[in-house]
Structure 1
Amino acid sequence: MSSSRYTFWVLILVVAIAGLSQGLSIPLLAVLLEKQGVSSVMNGLNAAALYIGMVLVSPLLEIPLRRIGYRSTILWGMLLLTVATGLIPLFSHLAVWFVLRMLMGIGDTSLHYSSQMWVTKIASPQTRGRDLSLYGLAYGVGFSIGPLGLNLLPLGLWVPFGVLLFLYAIAFLLILRIQNEFPEAIVQAEKKQNKYATVLRIGWLSLIPSFLYGFMETSLNGSFPVYALRTGLSIEWVSLILPAFVVGSIILQMPLGTLSDRIGRRQVMLACAIVGGVAFFLFPLAGENVWLMMLLLAIAGAAVGSFYSLGLAYSADILPAAMVPTAGIIAGINFGVASILAPNVNGVLMEWWEPWTMFWVMGALLVVFAAACLFAKNSKSQDTQCSLPLQKQG
């Protein structure tokens, strides 16, 4: 096995662990706060701390990535994530949890951004969709397993957190075994232009999926547990319903990535946005039927669960290689902003309106994106013409 493929598979294992960690920690903390009698609005604000950390650190991550490399950035993120997770069970004050969850967001974003950019760098253009889908698949598998850790709570508060710390230690050891690498340098000619403006001008459509995925993921994992408990569902049912979205994405993650390599990312995302939007619009009809809830979430997950990786692959298709890390920064900010908005918007909806409207909001966002995919300039030659001058410079 070549060193690049070995690195790839180590990153796949590490992101699976990171996915499991996030899949458990988000609903776990939401349930603990709900049991303490915290309002859904305050619960949402506290959950937003994770994503505030993401937004704060995202614009800065390109600096350490270029100076100390992919591996070192991942290791610093893992260290911060481990320390913050270990401190949470020691405190119960909302303000302390807010700060610790911000630190978790910073560490988690450092890990994900660096590993995503590393996978994008070592993947060949012919298999980029498949490889990034495999990355998303690994995250999805971990994320779907994560909520099952809620069933460890009866054994003691420290048990689920202890499991997370053990997994972090495994990820840390795996990362230490691979050789550090650095992203491609931006040449002087490219530094004279505003790289963010250039990325937004060329790759704006490819950056929307990260916002959508962030909004959907946080709505389901941060707000749905509160919604479910208030409608009479038990924690055990929550731990089974939540993974349905991710399990759905697992089923089609690789096929959609491979299909996008063949027929184009935009076409695949257009069709998926329509299917996902319809599934979310239909969700309120499920009522208290948990099996129908799981089916609709599985359909939505199958359609849009690979949005982040498809968007990132699309940006790598249409942008010069040296500017892909900048696109990753913007995608991370989009994800974080959406993840901050989601629990707060949903918290207000649950307090002042019908709880199921959160699903209509997600459906409406997907329909708008589908329209953008349909009417955006989609000529491959136009994308090439936009990116060629930059490619010559880089």
Structure 2
Amino acid sequence: MNTTYQRFQFSLLIISVFITGAAEGMLLPLVSSLLERSGVSSIWNGLGSTSLYIGMLIAIPLMEKPMRKVGYKIFLIGGLALITLPLFLFPIWMNLWFWFMLRLCVGLGDSMLHFAAQTWITIDSPLNHRGRNISFYGLAFGIGVAVGPMLVRLVDYGTAVPFLTSGIFCTLVLFLLFLLKNEYPECMEDKSTSNSTLFSRYKRVLTAAWSGFMVTFAFGFLETSLNNSFPIFALRHGYDLNALSVLLPAFVTGGLITQLPLGMLGDRLGRNRLLPVITCVGTLALFLTGVLCDYFYGIYFTLLAAGLMVGSLYSMSMGFVSDLLDKTQIPLGNIIMTICYSIGSMIGPISGNLMINIMPNGGLFYGVSFLLFLTSISCTVQAIQLHRKGSSFQKTAGVSNK
């Protein structure tokens, strides 16, 4: 495979991640806002939002063997197709349960596409460029999520316009994916399918990278709490959709600014040293968001500061988990990451809405900051464990060999 094609392949993977991030970033606030306007209770609204992540959770444990058989390309195409079709169906009927099923389908497709893309990128990346390449992945997804809420403004031209606009762009990228050459992941470390072997594989991976999975869980919780529960919080505090479209991307914007610098800094200094620090500072920023929640600029700047620190946690956790695992364990590590992300994402909207009801002024942000604080502690504990082991410290820390 020539270098030009490799760049084309990488670029197309990044574009596909961007477009799905935009679709997801639009769906969560748009659907929750429309349902809130139509009188759906915040609890049912939050439960409906979990469907996207239920779809991810159902699909991801079953993907390892199928992708090994059909290859990355087929998984990418199938995943994006499952995202694209529901976008054209959303405007047909505004109904909580109909939208629940459509978001379930989007979750299945999102899980397929991201599993294929992140495994392909992670395994193909040389160790000394892994953090950088994964940062591009996270940057693309982050820009997509930042662009997504801006599409909410198109609802002024009709309820169907944001859905159809996103669907058209997804269709264009879907056709481009057919230009890729299909490739297959390396053989997994164990081909046995017995329950005992499967359990032992999961146990080894979980034991090796448990704090990295905690980071992924926390990011899923954080992201969906902001995307789903924050619009409800904002509307109840008198902010309109235009204000929401400015406030909500603030967190993502912060993550975009530091995505590449933190990725390369992690390559150089070690992700296990960097993660405890940025999660601790992110905890403080989100706590201050709760304190200043009655002030527009207070929310904006504290969310921006939180994004600067923890807006790139997903890509950081991808790199960290990959550093802690053998190459043949990476696909399974990606599966567990997606499971943790999905569980966090399912719990996030429900917990966020409950915190809004229990403590209307700032409860959402206090709850999220507490979970992030626990994440910082978990990263610190595993960093100490790795330091004590000593023998493979630099390898597991993700320090560049340069």
Assess same fold via TM > 0.5: yes
- Please report the TM-score for the alignment, with normalisation by the length of structure 2: 0.92
User: Which segment drifts farther, 220-229 or 165-174?
Assistant: 165-174
Listed as ranges, the matches of 1:363-378 within 5 Å are 363-376=369-382, 377-378=385-386
Amino acid at match of 1:255: P
Is 1:269 paired with 2:275? yes
1:69 is matched with 71
Listed as ranges, the matches of 1:309-324 within 5 Å are 309-324=315-330
Listed as ranges, the matches of 1:113-132 within 5 Å are 113-132=115-134
User: What's the CA shift string for 1:135-155, capped at 9, x where partnerless?
Assistant: 101111111111111111111
Amino acid at match of 2:276: L
CA 72–258 in structure 1, closer or farther in 2 if over 3 Å, else same: same
Report if the CA contact (8 A) 1:349-1:355 is conserved: no
1:3 is matched with 5
Determine the C-alpha separation between the residues in 2 that align with 1:164 and 1:205: 35
Out of 331, 337, 340, the residue aligned to residue 337 of structure 2 is: 331
Amino acid at match of 1:322: T
Amino acid at match of 2:375: F
2:242 is matched with 236
User: Which segment drifts farther, 189-198 or 45-54?
Assistant: 189-198
Determine the C-alpha separation between the residues in 1 that align with 2:192 and 2:207: 15
* Equivalent position SS for 1:378: helix
Amino acid at match of 1:183: P
Out of 215, 221, 228, the residue aligned to residue 222 of structure 1 is: 228
Is 1:200 paired with 2:202? no
CA 352–383 in structure 1, closer or farther in 2 if over 3 Å, else same: farther
User: What's the CA shift string for 1:243-273, capped at 9, x where partnerless?
Assistant: 0001000000000000000110111111110
User: What's the CA shift string for 1:28-48, capped at 9, x where partnerless?
Assistant: 101110110111111101111
What number of residue pairs does the alignment pair up? 387
2:218 is matched with 212
Is 1:342 paired with 2:348? yes
Determine the C-alpha separation between the residues in 1 that align with 2:267 and 2:189: 29
Report if the CA contact (8 A) 1:318-1:384 is conserved: no
Amino acid at match of 1:111: L
Determine the C-alpha separation between the residues in 1 that align with 2:375 and 2:103: 30
1:172 is matched with 174
Report if the CA contact (8 A) 2:214-2:378 is conserved: no
- Identity between Structure 1 and Structure 2 (%): 34
Determine the C-alpha separation between the residues in 1 that align with 2:106 and 2:214: 24
Measured after TM superposition, the shift of residue 354 of structure 1 is 2.9
Determine the C-alpha separation between the residues in 2 that align with 1:24 and 1:80: 16
Residue segments in structure 2 that go unaligned for 5+ positions in a row: 397-402
Listed as ranges, the matches of 1:147-162 within 5 Å are 147-162=149-164
The RMSD of aligned alpha carbons is 1.8
2:59 is matched with 57
Determine the C-alpha separation between the residues in 1 that align with 2:190 and 2:96: 47
Determine the C-alpha separation between the residues in 1 that align with 2:210 and 2:391: 12
Determine the C-alpha separation between the residues in 1 that align with 2:100 and 2:391: 42
Amino acid at match of 2:329: M
Determine the C-alpha separation between the residues in 1 that align with 2:121 and 2:246: 31
Determine the C-alpha separation between the residues in 2 that align with 1:299 and 1:49: 30
Amino acid at match of 1:228: A
Is 1:254 paired with 2:222? no
Measured after TM superposition, the shift of residue 186 of structure 1 is 2.1
* Equivalent position SS for 2:55: helix
CA 355–285 in structure 1, closer or farther in 2 if over 3 Å, else same: closer
Determine the C-alpha separation between the residues in 2 that align with 1:22 and 1:230: 23
Out of 13, 20, 30, the residue aligned to residue 18 of structure 1 is: 20
2:400 is matched with none
Determine the C-alpha separation between the residues in 1 that align with 2:386 and 2:368: 25
Amino acid at match of 2:246: L
Amino acid at match of 1:378: L
Out of 282, 292, 297, the residue aligned to residue 286 of structure 1 is: 292
